[in-house]
């Protein structure tokens, strides 16, 4: 009896079905995720500058003109963008999906640095922003 057994045939069929299902799921994930699935941070533009008073606090933000390496400590996490509250730097980072987080709102991403600065002011409730000491 040199033929294939029922157990072997079922194993091959199950393996083929699983492979097709995985390939279909991967294709659907790429199709629904769109261009952000391939590194949105690298292709997304840097937001423009802002300077305003929000709830009595001056918030400012804008691209860093020195490539993000001048007096800051971002190491590239902020995508070359600086945010300040009353002149003190708010450490910000850009997520892979294009949203922004800060040390104050780490688990509450915001769509823009301006929205992030406003949320930080609200969270501070009048307290001073203390510079982040790394290292």
Domain holding 101: CATH number?
Answer: 3.30.1880.10
Instruction: Report the distance separating Cα 44 and Cα 34, nearest Å.
Output: 13
* Residue 55, H or E segment: none
Supply the range of the domain harboring residue 13.
6-38
pTM above 0.75, yes or no: no
Q: Are residues 46 and 104 in the same domain?
A: yes
Instruction: Report the distance separating Cα 53 and Cα 33, nearest Å.
Output: 37
Q: Are residues 50 and 34 in the same domain?
A: no
Q: Which pLDDT value is given to residue 38?
A: 39
Average pLDDT over residues 103-115: 94
Q: What b/e string do you get for 71-95 counting C-beta neighbours within 10 Å, with b at 16 or more?
A: ebebeebbbbbbbbbeeebbbbbbe
Quickly state the pLDDT bin for 44 (edges 50, 70, 90): low
Higher pLDDT, 108 or 4: 108
Q: Does the pLDDT at position 16 exceed 50?
A: yes
- How many domains is the chain partitioned into structurally? 2
Average pLDDT over residues 60-85: 69
């Amino acid at each position: 009896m040199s033929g294939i057994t029922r157990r072997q045939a079922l194993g091959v069929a199950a393996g083929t079905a699983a492979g097709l299902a995985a390939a279909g799921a991967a294709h659907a994930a790429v199709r629904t995720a769109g261009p952000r699935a391939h590194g949105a941070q690298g292709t997304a533009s840097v937001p423009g500058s802002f300077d305003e008073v929000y709830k009595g606090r001056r918030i400012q933000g804008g691209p860093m003109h020195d490539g993000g390496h001048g007096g800051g400590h971002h190491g590239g996490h902020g995508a070359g963008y600086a945010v300040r509250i009353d002149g003190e730097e708010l450490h910000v980072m850009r997520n892979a999906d294009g949203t922004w987080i800060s040390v104050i709102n780490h688990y509450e991403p915001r769509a823009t640095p301006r929205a992030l600065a406003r949320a930080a002011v609200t969270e501070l409730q009048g307290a001073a922003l203390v510079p982040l000491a790394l290292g």
